[in-house]
Structure 1
Amino acid sequence: MYHMIPRPLKMVLIRCISPFVFRKTDAVFVLSTGRSGTLTLTKLLAIDTRIAAYHEPRPHLYAEELDAYAHECIPLARFAKILYRARSQLVTSAYLKGRLYAETSNWLTFFAPAIRTTLPRSKFIHLVRHPAEVVASGLARGWYQAASLDRWRIRPRTLLVDSQGTKPNSYPSLQITADEWSRMSPFEKACWLWSEINTFAIHFAQTIPESRYLLVRLEDLIADPNQQLQRLWVFLGLTFETHMLDQCLAVLSVKHNASKYPRSAYNELCSENRSLLWNLCGDTAKRLGYAP
């Protein structure tokens, strides 16, 4: 029925009912560094016709995400308005079709506090991958090496806001000065990013009920898909239909959006870089089940 409504009338309808829809929509968002399997997760969720799954819908909100990080999404009302403008059409469409809205973009990670309140029925999947794999994949994509999206990639808050606007993090963070940052290699910066984003996600999880947060390690999803898929669908409040298993296994058998780097990135690290990685990522990595 919804697809039969003329587009101009749809837009009017969306503007009128969006506040109601955002309060009532079942939705799931991903907390992630990127390079952690978000596209794979999107393809898995899209197999279920009860889910409207999107990877990186437009607008991407790159600048807004960096701003949310720099100011820890304060004030929430401003970022709530950004969400309304950017996602009203997609969220409303999913709601009117009776589908769960799922967005796996890592570029909304620091929007989580605004999402938590703007969509009170939302849930969050914390999708993680071994830091060495993420760092290697990110460096292959040019992270902190003048890549096209580097201008929007997070960096220490002291570089993003003036000293008067800088506020203490609400979560433990590696405090990096501007001078230290200027002397760090792309490898070290990528390690810092992995730690910073995942530390934020861990502490954000403590602000919401356990029923709204699920930690998923990409390695576990690939190693034991049957159990992990069941666990994921239970979290979403859906039954995992057995007929979807073969399609899911087919998705997991392919490396989506893969970068070209040594398949065992950790084994390829020299001893010096291993030490750097664990110095920068160690505490957070251990909390997520990774060990040297």
Structure 2
Amino acid sequence: MHSFNHIHHISSKYLAFIYESYQPVFVLNTGRSGSAFINNLLQNIPDIKSYHEASPTLFLQSNYAYHHQDKIEVLQKMFEVARIELILEASIKNRFYVESNQCLVFFARQIKSLFPKAKFIHLTRHPGDFITSAIKKGWHKNDSVWESGRIKMKDAEAWAKMSQIERLGWVWEKTHSYIEDFKSLHTRDFMTIKLEDLTKKPEYIDILLEFIGSENKLDAKQMDTILHRKINEVKISNEPKNMHKLATYPAYDNWHSSDKNVMKKFVSKSAELYSYIL
């Protein structure tokens, strides 16, 4: 048991112990897939320190990380600089560090190298529902710093010719394919869960907490409140002209068949793996 009240007091021995033995947990997903929901429910658990896109978010670095997986030391140091103090803070308070952040997906290998005990939650969502939500947020249409950092094809000319649905279908498939490749190397340290199950079947919340390592549970009232609360809805206020959010967009079931077929060209492989009906 340590006796540190502040991270500035941490000894070199304890720091080495944290790198070797601490078990942070990271929720890997495409974004617009329930990461804010997970963070919201974990805020009620006393032995967990949960973040949704902790600061610095690293939103400008996702595409760089995706296309430069060979820059192992660079990516590892980027992550370490951004997160080590938050992780140390959680550790000296005897809490599990959990972060839900789409921007960290392509740092997963470096996270595992830095923290060998790290665990990962692979969160999926139906691709049509993801794309609907992302279109409402203006993904791959806004002119913003977030868009600058989103993963995209290396071939800029081919990318420029793609529709928004095509781009988002590509993002969904490439993100999950990357996670699956990484997961295959660390199956014991992974939990895969569908947002659709997590939000409709309370028993999955208990499974999630057990995987993280927490001995706490939510009571029935807390569970009901969380499951019926809308989280991270698209909000449009005084948006500048470079933003292209939409207040409404048809649910996937109401899409035109031609749009569904466009999406299917990109997502069919992983959608079948997760048993999503297209």
Shorter-chain TM range is 0.7 to 0.9
> Does the CA contact (< 8 Å) of 2:27 and 2:121 recur in 1?
yes
Give me the TM-score of the superposition, normalised by structure 2.
Answer: 0.88
Q: Give the corresponding residue for 1:144.
A: 140
> Does the CA contact (< 8 Å) of 1:26 and 1:121 recur in 2?
yes
1:254 aligned onto 2:240? no
Instruction: Give unpaired runs (5+ residues) of structure 2.
Output: 235-246
Partners of 2:58 and 2:16 lie apart in 1 by 20
> Does the CA contact (< 8 Å) of 1:14 and 1:92 recur in 2?
no
Q: Give the corresponding residue for 1:235.
A: 211
> Does the CA contact (< 8 Å) of 2:53 and 2:100 recur in 1?
yes
CA RMSD of aligned residues (A): 2.0
1:224 aligned onto 2:211? no
Q: Give the corresponding residue for 1:280.
A: 266
Query: What displacement does 1:40 show?
Result: 0.7
Describe how 1:82-97 pairs up with structure 2 within 5 A: 82-97=78-93
Query: What displacement does 1:242 show?
Result: 5.1
> Does the CA contact (< 8 Å) of 2:48 and 2:214 recur in 1?
no
Partners of 2:162 and 2:255 lie apart in 1 by 17
Partners of 1:84 and 1:119 lie apart in 2 by 10
Query: What displacement does 1:137 show?
Result: 0.7
After the TM superposition, which parts of structure 1 deviate over 6 Å for at least 4 consecutive aligned residues? none
Q: Which of these residues, 120, 131, 138, is aligned with residue 135 of structure 1?
A: 131
1:50 aligned onto 2:43? no
SS of the residue corresponding to residue 63 of structure 1 reads: coil
Q: Give the corresponding residue for 2:183.
A: 205
1:184-218, Cα deviation, whole Å (9 max, x unpaired): 1112111111111011111111011x221111111
Letter in 2 for 1:289: S
Query: What displacement does 1:14 show?
Result: 7.9
Q: Percent identity?
A: 29
| Structure with more helix by fraction | 1
1:77 aligned onto 2:54? no
Partners of 2:162 and 2:151 lie apart in 1 by 14
From the superposition, tell whether residues 137 and 147 of structure 1 become closer, same or farther in structure 2 (CA, over 3 Å). farther
Letter in 1 for 2:222: Q
> Does the CA contact (< 8 Å) of 1:229 and 1:240 recur in 2?
no
Does 33-42 or 245-254 show the bigger shift?
A: 245-254
> Does the CA contact (< 8 Å) of 2:123 and 2:193 recur in 1?
yes
> Does the CA contact (< 8 Å) of 1:34 and 1:106 recur in 2?
yes
Give me the TM-score of the superposition, normalised by structure 1.
Answer: 0.84
> Does the CA contact (< 8 Å) of 1:141 and 1:147 recur in 2?
no
> Does the CA contact (< 8 Å) of 2:200 and 2:227 recur in 1?
no
SS of the residue corresponding to residue 146 of structure 1 reads: coil
1:270 aligned onto 2:267? no
Q: Give the corresponding residue for 1:35.
A: 32
Q: Give the corresponding residue for 1:175.
A: none
Query: What displacement does 1:12 show?
Result: 6.3
- Aligned length, in residue pairs: 263
Partners of 1:14 and 1:57 lie apart in 2 by 25
From the superposition, tell whether residues 147 and 41 of structure 1 become closer, same or farther in structure 2 (CA, over 3 Å). farther
1:39-94, Cα deviation, whole Å (9 max, x unpaired): 1100111211111101111111123332211112x232222222221111110011
Describe how 1:16-35 pairs up with structure 2 within 5 A: 17-35=14-32
SS of the residue corresponding to residue 62 of structure 1 reads: coil
Partners of 2:32 and 2:20 lie apart in 1 by 31
From the superposition, tell whether residues 78 and 195 of structure 1 become closer, same or farther in structure 2 (CA, over 3 Å). same
